[in-house]
């Protein structure tokens, strides 16, 4: 037997129906905020992520599915969506055509991580990116869009954590202080953090290693090194969140795992999913356009991990709501009715109804069992007697009440039962 690839999942049945409902909420909420969908290819040049996400990040260093194609190009299955969206915006001049460009996306991503509950090698993100504004209203809009979507999907056990990384200049001053402090405690740091001391010392701040966390407790605070503009920007974001009644906490140690951020960063976290506690990550990434060779363009966005949202939905609601069955099961009661019953099904489908027919040539009894199993609302039966009288039997499955109706009135009669 050939199994599914480790860390990847099939989606079907009631779970898939719940995903589709969540996707409907995503479409409605993004439309309400004026965001348009954007779809990029699943493969990009490897260079895009190396430059965009940063070579010292876990994503680029250890987690990418990278291969050489037959033409010798190094391609990568996208591990995140922000770099592809910015690539597309630069390539298609999106921001020049419209000064603020608001985009959303939903699709599969690939990271070679150790699989566990809530962490997969193929997973899906819904995300949004607001391109072109350096102002705090854009940061707040993005946070509100993420929060409104999660609430609309029907989950509530999450909270918002925010932080600011300030401008690149103020961060540089802080970085020097932080490295000095961490170097004086180097013996207490994990091996990973010792390595990061040279390459990406800020990441040590949100290390999950208990030894690192102990050292970090005494570390200087980034916020104290920020310039006035950075603090004012952060304060303005708070002001909007406060006015909108959105609760949040400031997590001074949050730095996020990708290199492109500046100013506001945020995560939406939950206690209900064990160690995979982040359901959304995002922030402002003003440097990214220039890093990818475009005109400097401020931007802010987020990505929500769909699998984690769906796990939370399942946990909060005690399972999946069963998907609705078909409107009609069309039961064929004789050999001669086989073709006419298929044509009747087509007539009902063209009237907008969902109809399942028997294609196994089973007995009427077996077909009734199937109609119940599928939770069909109405069963329509056509046999020799009915054909002779130009009638069908319409049965309301929940009440088990049935009646003969003229063939010509079929659609109207079925509609009556569906409303009942
Ligand atoms: P990220 O924090 O790497 O950010 O991922 C965002 C979310 O994707 C996480 O909070 C989590 O819910 C989900 N996620 C990540 N990896 C996995 C995995 N292996 N299995 C299941 N879910 C996962 C970004 O990707 C940035 N592009 C966010 C962003 C958008 N920043 C600005 N704009």
What confidence tens digit (pLDDT) does each residue in 40-64 have?
A: 999 999 999 999 998 888 899 999 9
Query: Considering the chain, what is the average pLDDT of its residues?
Result: 95
To test the pocket of ligand 1, the residue of 8, 60, 62, 80 to mutate (highest count of ligand atoms within 8 Å of its CB) is 80
What confidence tens digit (pLDDT) does each residue in 214-246 have?
A: 999 999 999 999 999 999 999 999 999 999 999
Please give the distance of CA 129 from its chain centroid, rounded to a whole number.
Answer: 13
Confidence of residue 98 (pLDDT cuts 50, 70, 90): confident
DSSP-derived letter for residue 201 is G
pLDDT at 276: 85
Percent of the chain with pLDDT over 90: 86
Q: Whose CA is nearest to atom 8 of ligand 1?
A: 305
> With a 6 A CB cut-off, is 119 part of the ligand 1 pocket?
yes
Q: What is the rounded CA–CA span in Å between residue 125 and residue 35?
A: 16
User: Is 90 exceeded by the pLDDT of residue 181?
Assistant: yes
User: Is 80 exceeded by the pLDDT of residue 258?
Assistant: no
Q: Counting atoms of ligand 1 from 1, which one is nearest the CA of 256?
A: 2
Q: Whose CA is nearest to atom 10 of ligand 1?
A: 280
User: Is 80 exceeded by the pLDDT of residue 303?
Assistant: yes
Residues 6+ apart with CB under 8 A from 363: none
Residue pair 65/74 in contact by the 8 Å Cβ criterion: no
- Ligand 1 centre distance from Cα of residue 70 (Å): 30
- Ligand 1 centre distance from Cα of residue 80 (Å): 7
> With a 6 A CB cut-off, is 111 part of the ligand 1 pocket?
yes
pLDDT at 172: 86
Report which of 139, 153, 327 is spatially closest to residue 234, judged by C-alpha positions: 139
Residues 6+ apart with CB under 8 A from 222: 163, 164, 165, 166, 171, 174, 178, 202, 205, 252
> With a 6 A CB cut-off, is 261 part of the ligand 1 pocket?
no
Tokens encoding 132: 């072109």
For the residues of 338-355, what is the DSSP string, one character each? HHHHHHHHHHHHHTT--E
- Ligand 1 centre distance from Cα of residue 171 (Å): 23
How many Cα atoms are found within 13 Å in the side-chain-facing hemisphere of 371?
A: 29
> With a 6 A CB cut-off, is 132 part of the ligand 1 pocket?
no
> Phi/psi of residue 127, each to 5°?
-145, 165
To test the pocket of ligand 1, the residue of 85, 125, 285, 288 to mutate (highest count of ligand atoms within 8 Å of its CB) is 125
> With a 6 A CB cut-off, is 270 part of the ligand 1 pocket?
no
What confidence tens digit (pLDDT) does each residue in 61-85 have?
A: 999 999 999 999 999 999 999 999 9
What confidence tens digit (pLDDT) does each residue in 325-357 have?
A: 999 999 999 999 999 999 999 999 999 999 999
> Phi/psi of residue 412, each to 5°?
-60, -40
- Ligand 1 centre distance from Cα of residue 106 (Å): 12
User: Is 90 exceeded by the pLDDT of residue 150?
Assistant: yes
pLDDT at 25: 98
- Ligand 1 centre distance from Cα of residue 169 (Å): 26
């Amino acid at each position: 037997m050939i199994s599914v690839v480790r860390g990847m999942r099939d989606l079907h049945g009631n779970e898939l129906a719940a995903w589709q409902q969540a996707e409907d909420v995503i479409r409605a909420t993004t439309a309400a905020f004026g965001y348009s969908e954007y779809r990029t290819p699943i493969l990009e040049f490897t260079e895009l992520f190396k430059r965009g996400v940063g070579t010292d990040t876990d994503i680029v260093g250890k987690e990418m599915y990278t291969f050489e194609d037959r033409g010798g190009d190094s391609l990568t299955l996208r591990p995140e969506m922000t770099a592809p969206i910015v690539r597309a915006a630069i390539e298609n001049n999106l921001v020049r055509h419209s000064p603020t460009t608001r985009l959303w996306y939903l699709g599969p991503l690939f990271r070679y991580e150790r699989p566990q509950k809530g962490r997969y090698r193929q997973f899906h993100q819904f995300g949004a990116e607001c391109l072109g504004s350096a102002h705090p209203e854009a940061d707040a809009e993005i946070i509100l869009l993420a929060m409104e979507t999660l609430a609309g999907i029907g989950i509530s056990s999450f909270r918002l954590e925010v932080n600011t990384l300030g401008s690149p200049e103020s961060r540089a001053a802080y970085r020097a202080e932080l490295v000095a402090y961490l170097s004086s405690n180097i013996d207490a740091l994990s091996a990973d953090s010792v390595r990061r001391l040279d390459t990406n010392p800020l990441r040590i701040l949100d290390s999950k290693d208990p030894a690192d966390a102990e050292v970090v407790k005494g570390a200087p605070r980034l916020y104290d090194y920020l310039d006035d503009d950075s603090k004012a920007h952060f304060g303005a974001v708070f002001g909007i969140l406060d006015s909108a009644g959105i609760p949040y906490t400031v997590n001074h140690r949050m730095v996020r795992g990708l290199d492109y951020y500046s100013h506001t960063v945020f995560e939406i976290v939950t206690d209900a999913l064990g160690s995979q506690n982040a359901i959304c990550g995002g922030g402002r990434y003003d440097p990214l356009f220039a890093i990818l060779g475009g005109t400097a363009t401020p931007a802010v966005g987020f990505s929500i991990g769909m699998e984690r949202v769906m796990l939370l939905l399942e946990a909060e609601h005690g399972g999946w709501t069963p998907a609705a069955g078909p409107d009609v099961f069309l039961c064929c009661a004789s050999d001669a009715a086989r073709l006419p019953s298929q044509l009747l099904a087509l007539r009902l489908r063209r009237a907008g109804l969902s109809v399942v027919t028997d294609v196994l040539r089973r007995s009427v009894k077996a077909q009734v069992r199937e109609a119940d199993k599928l939770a069909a609302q109405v069963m329509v039966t056509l046999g020799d007697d009915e054909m002779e009288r130009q009638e069908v039997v319409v049965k309301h499955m929940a009440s088990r009440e049935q009646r003969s109706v003229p063939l010509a009135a079929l659609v109207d009669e079925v509609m009556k039962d569906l409303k009942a």
